[in-house]
Chain A
């Protein structure tokens, strides 16, 4: 079965850039999406089609996808961006999520 691999955790200082990676076989050939989930809340879509932002998502969130890696970049990270982030892609009509990355802003 298809697998997506994310680092379990990472930390970033306020105002700096956070880059969260998601790896999978030929992931660049698929449409990657990213979700933000804060404690006790439902996930929120922040990037779809690898690099598109839904309305209401701040411009500091961006995405890229090439080769075997998709990347979610948060520029000028703010304290409110502290959350779990999940990548997701489709493989043979099955949705697959990465294991999630806990982003700490400190």
Chain B
């Protein structure tokens, strides 16, 4: 059974930093690209970032480019999101999601975690 468990969400002040983690199990982690997707309270889904199977390529939404860094440790079956210079508009539930495709392709998000809540407030 595929499981994705996020952690690291917290209340942080504007300008602060936070590191999110996602522990994956139940599939061959290093076969698949992995994503972060967020959802502000009462709002829709917003894609944040993706990292390819080997960590060699990353892409970001314009709204987080230069502030957030995605990474992965295939030895630990873990995905991370380093969030710096946080803004109030970054307040959201952050989901870790597995890509259905393998290796270099990007397709769709076939498994999602339960999310971890990040609140940016003074």
Contact = CB atoms under 8 A, between A and B. Distances in A.
Given A48-B100, A48-B107, A94 B61 contact: yes
Interface residues of B, number: 21
Interface residues of A, number: 24
Interface stretch (B19-27, B40-48, B67-75, B80-88): B40-48
A49 interface: yes
Contact of B112 (A43, A88, A96): A43
Nearest to B58: A93
Interface in A64-100: 84, 86, 88, 90, 93-100
A93 B46 contact: no
A79 B45 CA distance: 23
A97 B45 CA distance: 6
Contact of A49 (B106, B107, B112, B114): B107
B44 A100 contact: yes
B59 A94 contact: yes
Contacts of B59: 93-94
B107 to A, nearest CB: 6
A85 to B, nearest CB: 11
A96 B35 CA distance: 13
B100 A45 contact: yes
A98 B45 CA distance: 8
Interface string B86-122: 0000000001000010000011111011110000000
A95 B47 contact: yes
Nearest to A96: B47
B107 A100 contact: no
B62 interface: yes
Interface in A9-57: 31, 33, 35, 37, 42-45, 48-49, 54
B110 A42 contact: no
Would you list the 5 A-B pairs with minimal beta carbon distance, nearest first? A95-B47, A33-B108, A42-B112, A48-B108, A100-B44
Interface of B: 35, 37, 44-47, 50, 59, 61-62, 95, 100, 106-110, 112-115
